[in-house]
Amino acid sequence: MPNSKNNKRPRTRAHRAVTNVFGIGSPHQNLPFPKGSLTAAEIIAYTPHWLRSIDVIDRFVTNGSQAGTIAAMLNEFRHQPDNKPINANSICSVMQIPMRHAGFEGWTKGTHGLVERNDTTKEWDDTVLDVSTFRTPRVSHPRGTFKAFMNSQQDPISFKNLALHVKKHPEGPDALDLTRCVQHALSHPEKSWLFPNDYERLVKELGGPAPVTSAHLDKQVFARHDPAVRLPAFNRPDSSSSVYTVPTSTTVNAKIMPRRSTRAAVKGDTSFAPSSSRRNASSKIDESPVSAHKNGARRSGRLAGRVRISLNEEFTETDSPWKPSTRKRKPSPDNDDGDFNVNGESSDSDTLKETEADNVSDESSTPAPKQRRAAKKARVTIQEIATFETPVKPKVHSAPISPALMAAARIFTHKPKFLKPPVLPRDRATVDNHSVWLYSADTCTTMTERWESALSSTRFNGPRRHPPFRELYRLTDPPAYDVSDWAENIRWAKEQEKVFGSTTWTEYDYYLEQITEERRRTGWFSDEALRGGY
């Protein structure tokens, strides 16, 4: 009988080795930082092991990075071992271990705001990309006696070795000086440049450090590569096929998953790509309110206050499950809540007079079920929620303002000083002739209304919080009585476009903060603010 021990298959590692997370031969975590500025994309693309530096972690997390975004950037810029994409959980482990070794017990991304920095006299500046003072793990949290060999500083490496395992080099606003150095070293293999010792000399030879713009900042880089920020599919007017279709099934176990079906229909958000689990669940659950009405089910009264919004399909009155029949009916009594036609037989209230029967088309010959009291209540509630309230305009002075007073007030207003506009990436999401169908309100019926809705300055009660970030000069004029920072920033950007031709100021929160600071620094006020006495 053969020995069973010899027949056992060799054990294989089910996970990546710690030293092989980003590929064998990748720059070591204890490779010193250069003297200069690096973008987040360059750090992730060329030196991913620096994600174990607590200074890099502090910078990324404070500037709004997500583990899923870093994982997506690693999969985009680098070839992963065994061609297996790295996931967000691995990135969390990579960052948690050094932070906890550095003395921050129980550290997580959510508790990073409680971490106390050494220099508490300075406020955090997210525009600083300089890494000259960043520490490697051997300096910030050296290992103990048994792993003292991990505390040695790594020797400089060739610039060409930084391109090892790199699938795609950073480009556009993702790239800065390090990208130029690596590409120069690859195109001149006869030269031996060492990183980081020769970094400053090579940058100087290539023309000096490139200017850092707002597009290079970490917030912008992470926003461009955030996998959650994707344009959802939408139906163009000339398209006959639906991009987003919800599969239905006639075999639904109402006893097991009635709530799940309701929640899926109410909380469904087409702005995000559905996960595989939701996609599998949607194949078994009917999420369509129209088909639910046909099957005899109705929405619960506690869900009547929630409005279903579809970004992909235009809503028409014929799509509403609550549309009354075009045939004339006698109003049913309110107390008739249980009288329901199961077999579809028409009652006395469904009959027509002989003189009216000739005017009825064949399309409206199908009798519609009576509306229940709960259905009426839900319909009224939904209409009340969907109705936008007109803001109350404050009282203004009825007497005309004298020209002398306006002349005196104009002393405090003047042409804005030129502020260098940001540089926007070419592939960013914008509101154009195609996407206007997606970002306008469903109630719009003409193209003029769609453009006014998509570029409305009051539709969201402020700026948009997610892409596409609209150009401020394209937005509609705020109400004259509105002198908030949001309205004043729009007027300032419109004047910048009119005077200097600046068209890249958008409603991105960082740009709005820059504009607000510039207005307050220069004392700029709009005519609307002066008329209001501000």
Q: Which two tokens stand for residue 21?
A: 């997370």
Is there a single domain that holds both residue 208 and residue 81? yes
Last residue of a domain, one of 357, 387, 417: 387
Is there a single domain that holds both residue 38 and residue 182? yes
User: What stretches of 295-391 show up as alpha helix (H) in DSSP?
Assistant: 354-357, 373-386
Q: Domain tally for the chain?
A: 3
Is there a single domain that holds both residue 76 and residue 191? yes
- Are 243 and 235 in contact by the 8 Å Cβ rule? The answer is yes
**Half-sphere exposure of residue 177, counting CA atoms within 13 Å on the CB side?**
25
Q: What pLDDT does 114 receive? A: 81
The whole-angstrom separation of Cα 180 and Cα 203 is 8
- Are 73 and 42 in contact by the 8 Å Cβ rule? The answer is no
Last residue of a domain, one of 354, 387, 420: 387
Beta bridge partners of 157: 195
The whole-angstrom separation of Cα 216 and Cα 129 is 9
Is there a single domain that holds both residue 277 and residue 420? no
pTM tops 0.95, yes or no: no
Question: Is 232 contained in some domain?
Answer: no
Question: Is 36 contained in some domain?
Answer: yes
Question: Is 337 contained in some domain?
Answer: no
Q: Which two tokens stand for residue 214?
A: 């707002």
Length of the chain equals 534
Q: What pLDDT does 256 receive? A: 37
DSSP per-residue letters across 27-60:
PPTTSPPPSSB--HHHHHHH-GGGGG-HHHHHHH
Is there a single domain that holds both residue 311 and residue 422? no
Angle CA 276–464–234, to nearest 5: 45
Is there a single domain that holds both residue 154 and residue 31? yes
Is there a single domain that holds both residue 270 and residue 168? no
Q: What pLDDT does 10 receive? A: 53
Beta bridge partners of 37: 130
Is there a single domain that holds both residue 416 and residue 475? yes
Question: Is 333 contained in some domain?
Answer: no
Range of the domain at 520: 403-531
Pairing between β-strand 157-158 and β-strand 194-195 as defined by DSSP bridges: antiparallel
Note down pLDDT in tens along the chain; length 534 residues: 445 455 555 554 444 545 567 888 899 999 999 999 999 999 999 999 999 999 999 999 999 899 999 999 999 999 998 889 999 999 999 999 999 988 888 898 888 888 777 665 577 888 999 999 999 998 888 876 656 567 788 899 999 999 999 999 999 999 999 999 999 999 998 988 999 999 999 999 999 999 998 889 999 999 999 887 644 433 444 434 333 333 333 333 333 333 333 333 333 443 334 344 444 444 443 444 444 444 444 444 444 444 444 444 444 444 444 444 545 555 544 444 444 444 444 444 444 444 444 444 444 445 555 557 777 777 777 776 665 555 555 555 556 777 787 777 666 666 668 898 998 887 888 899 888 888 888 888 899 999 999 999 999 989 998 888 999 999 999 998 888 999 999 999 999 999 889 999 999 999 999 999 999 888 888 888 877 765
Last residue of a domain, one of 225, 250, 273: 225
Q: Which two tokens stand for residue 149?
A: 């060999």
Q: What pLDDT does 336 receive? A: 45
- Are 513 and 481 in contact by the 8 Å Cβ rule? The answer is no
Is there a single domain that holds both residue 221 and residue 278? no
Is there a single domain that holds both residue 408 and residue 444? yes
The whole-angstrom separation of Cα 163 and Cα 25 is 11
Is there a single domain that holds both residue 195 and residue 74? yes
Is there a single domain that holds both residue 46 and residue 172? yes
Question: Is 339 contained in some domain?
Answer: no
Question: Is 489 contained in some domain?
Answer: yes
The whole-angstrom separation of Cα 85 and Cα 341 is 57
Q: What pLDDT does 151 receive? A: 73
Question: Is 179 contained in some domain?
Answer: yes
